[in-house]
Amino acid sequence: MNLADYDVLSFDCYGTLIDWEAGILEVLRPWAQQAGSPLSDDELLEVYGLNEAQAQRDSPSSLYPRILADAFTHTGRALDLPVSAEWADKLGVSVSDWPAFEDSADALSSLRESYKLVILSNVHREGFAGSNRWLGVQFDAIVTAEDVKAYKPADNHFDALDGVLETLGVPRSRLLHVAQSLFHDHVPAKRHGIASVWIDRRHDRRGWGATPEPSEEYSVGMRFPSMAAFAAAAREARSNA
């Protein structure tokens, strides 16, 4: 893969640019401590991640705050621990407070010089607007779950990319998808014949965290441990083109 062969980068946001696991744990950790749960952070995230994916399948047209609240409630049931409406709503409204990874803003700013940037995210419009305060980048297009009435790994986001590319005047062959989640992003990218790069944010940790393990085929053209490493490789590829 030559990163200079692409003109448009589409990004997953939560897990790739925004540290959604840290944001989720800001609510789940104190709840678990209050409930007397012995589970580690990663164990909590794994149970939660499965329940969020299920909530998204069950209610594809629900806005993300409702998905978060429902997933939290079902996580409590799975662990036989009570989740009050107050706790569930606290997670539901927390999206805008989730922090960006330290390298996200600088990497996006660098990439913006050579590529058009698109967001492809399992979130609602208001939530992403809040998150973009941390990223500080003007994206060329934004596709959310609210827009397409579905959540990745469903095909809706990737189907919508065809319209985005037409508007941008760029062929699909010049599109590269950049994401952390194999389950949410790289599986559907492969189904749609879209080249992709894996930002492996959990490269130094065991397990899958809040992202379910993929059960379908996926492929990645390149793998990077961070957005900073990806942006550096993209700069080098462009300079050698």
Which residues are catalytic, by number? Answer: 12
Question: What is d(CA 105, CA 84) in angstroms, rounded to the nearest whole number?
Answer: 35
For residue 130, the tally of other CB atoms under 10 A from its CB is 18
Alpha carbon dihedral 86, 67, 8, 200, in 10-degree steps, equals: 80
Query: Which residue is listed with tokens 């893969």?
Result: 1
Q: Strand, helix or coil at 199?
A: strand
Task: Report the C-alpha gap between 212 and 50 in whole angstroms.
Answer: 6
Q: Which amino acid is at 175?
A: L
- Sign of the four-CA dihedral 107, 187, 29, 206: negative
DSSP E strands: which ranges in 45-146?
A: 116-121, 141-144
* 21 touches 15 (CB < 8 A): yes
Token pair for 110:
């660098």
Residue 180 CA to residue 196 CA, distance in Å, equals 10
Q: Both tokens of residue 119?
A: 């967001």
In the sheet that holds 8-11, the strands lie side by side as 141-144, 116-121, 8-11, 175-179, 195-199, 222-224
3-state secondary structure of 163: helix
